[in-house]
Chains A and B, each alone.
Chain A
Amino acid sequence: SYELTQPPSVSVALGQTASITCEGDRIRLRHVHWYHQKPGQAPVLVLYRDNHRPSHVPERFSGSSGGDTATLTIDVAQAGDEGDYFCQLWDSGPLMFGGGTKLTVL
């Protein structure tokens, strides 16, 4: 089955740019979605189909994909951006999730 690999943790200084990667075989050929989960809460969709933002998500969030890596980029990181981020894609039926990356804003 298709596997998605994320780094367990990423740290970013307040106000700087954070990048979270999601690796998968030829992921550039798939559409990747990203979720943000704060402790004790349900995940929230922050990007869909690689780089589309739901209306509630600020422009600071963007995405890209190439080769075997999809990337979520968060500009001007804020304390409220802390939490776990999961990538996900649709495997023509099953939903595949990455293992998640814990983002810490220093």
Chain B
Amino acid sequence: RLQESGPGLVKPSETLSLWCSVSDFSLNSRFHDWGWIRQSPGEGLQWIGTIAYRGPTSENSYYNPSLRGRVTIDVDVSANRFSLKVTSVTAADAAVYYCGRQVNDYGPSGECGVDVWGQGIAVIVSS
């Protein structure tokens, strides 16, 4: 129900662009945020960033500070998908990238983890 897409090979210093297509539910949900998480070979999970979309006038995104402003996440509501861009990639950005649906109503139920994950897309950084 979440499907990542994009190039599996990116050259150093270029921009990595990925899409996450969402089916069976709407991006415009008061109970869900949408995020990207990556996993380097043999390593753990690293949160990249999240976008909370609550309509055209309510959109907030926040990012892992360790990525030093290289990350942007946007939504394409008409296509029911969201994107990830990572600029100036290096070998350290090589990983499997997952998109995920985060449960969070910012209210009584609070944040309840990533309940739906894409299958992941492997990205290699090489010239």
Contact = CB atoms under 8 A, between A and B. Distances in A.
A90 B102 CA distance: 10
A1 B64 CA distance: 11
Most chain B Cβ neighbours within 10 Å, of A45, A52, A54 = A45
A97 B46 contact: yes
Contact of B120 (A42, A49, A98): A42
Interface residues of B, number: 24
Interface residues of A, number: 24
- Mostly, the B contact residues are strand
B97 to A, nearest CB: 11
A93 B110 contact: no
Given A31-B112, A49-B110, 7 more contacts: A31-B110, A31-B111, A33-B112, A41-B119, A45-B115, A86-B44, A99-B44
Interface of B: 35, 37, 44-47, 50, 62, 64-65, 98, 102-104, 110-115, 117-120
